[in-house]
A and B are shown apart, each in its own frame.
Chain A
Amino acid sequence: DIQMTQSPSTLSASVGDRVTITCRASRSVTRWLAWFQQKPGKAPKLLISDASSLESGVPSRFSGSASGTDFTLTISSLQPDDFATYYCQQYNSYPWTFGQGTKIEVK
C-alpha cells in the first residue's frame, strides 16, 4: 500500500497568513493526488484533483503543487472559513489511501 504522510499534524495560524501543508507519498503516485477540506460534523469537500487542478467554486487562494513524491497545498491568505482539517489522498493505485490530516487552528 502507498503510505501518505502529511505534515504538520496541527498548524496554528492567523487570518491573512500564508499556509503550506505537505503530503509525501511512500512511492510515486504521478499526479494522482487530491486535497480535501473537512469541517467538524461535515463531509469532506474536494478542493484540488490531479495535484494542482482547482475544483470549480473553490477560491483561488487555494493551490496545489507537486515535486516527485512531495505534494503541497498552499492557502495564500488564510480566511476565517479556512480553519478546518485538510487531507491528501492518492488515487494512483489500490487501495486508495489518505494522509492522516492536518488541522489548521486559530493561533
Chain B
Amino acid sequence: EVQLVESGGGLVQSGRSLRLSCTASGFSFGDDAMSWVRQAPGKGLEWVGFIRSKVNGGTTEYAASVKGRVTISRDDSKSVAYLQMNSLKTEDTAVYYCTRASHAMGGDYRNYYMDVWGKGTAVTVSS
C-alpha cells in the first residue's frame, strides 16, 4: 500500500524552529518528487514547497510566504522527506500535509500533480 506518514508537529513558540518528517512506503521513493501543503484552521489549502527526485536534480521550489525560512530535503536511503521550518510565526499554524508529486505526462520541469497525501501533522505556533 502506498502510504505517507507525517510526524514532528506540535506546539512551538514563535521564533523557534521545527522539523517535520514524512516517511514513505509502498513505492520507489527515490524516483519521485515530494511536496508539502498546509492548511490553517478553517482555511483552504496552501502549497508550501517541492523537491524533485535526485535524478532530476533534487532541486527545490518554495512559496513566497515561506521562502528563506523553510528548507525541504530528502533522505532517499530512509524514504523520508523533511520540512525544516525556522523563525516560525503564528501564521504558520496549520496542518502540514506531505504529498507525492507525480510528473505529468507531456509536461516540463514544473508540471507535477500531487497524487498521494499523508494524513497530516498539526503545527501550532504560540506567541
Chain A residues in the interface with B (C-beta under 8 A): 1, 32, 34, 36, 38, 42-46, 49-50, 55, 87, 89, 91-101
Contacts and interface: CB of A to CB of B under 8 A. Distances in A.
A43 B118 contact: yes
Contact of B110 (A36, A43, A93): A93
Given A32-B111, A43-B97, A91-B104, A96 B47 contact: yes
Interface in B18-64: 35, 37, 44-47, 50, 61-64
Interface of B: 35, 37, 44-47, 50, 61-64, 97, 104-105, 107, 110-120
* Interface SS of chain A: loop
Given A43-B120, A44-B97, A87 B113 contact: no
Contacts of B120: 43
B44 A50 contact: no
Contacts of A36: 45
B110 A94 contact: yes
Contact of A44 (B45, B104, B111): B45
Nearest to A44: B117
Contacts of B44: 87, 98-101
Contacts of A1: 64
B104 A50 contact: yes
5 contacts: A49-B104, A50-B105, A55-B115, A87-B44, A100-B44
Top 9 closest pairs, chain A to chain B, by CB: A43-B117, A49-B113, A96-B47, A98-B45, A95-B63, A94-B61, A101-B44, A34-B113, A46-B115
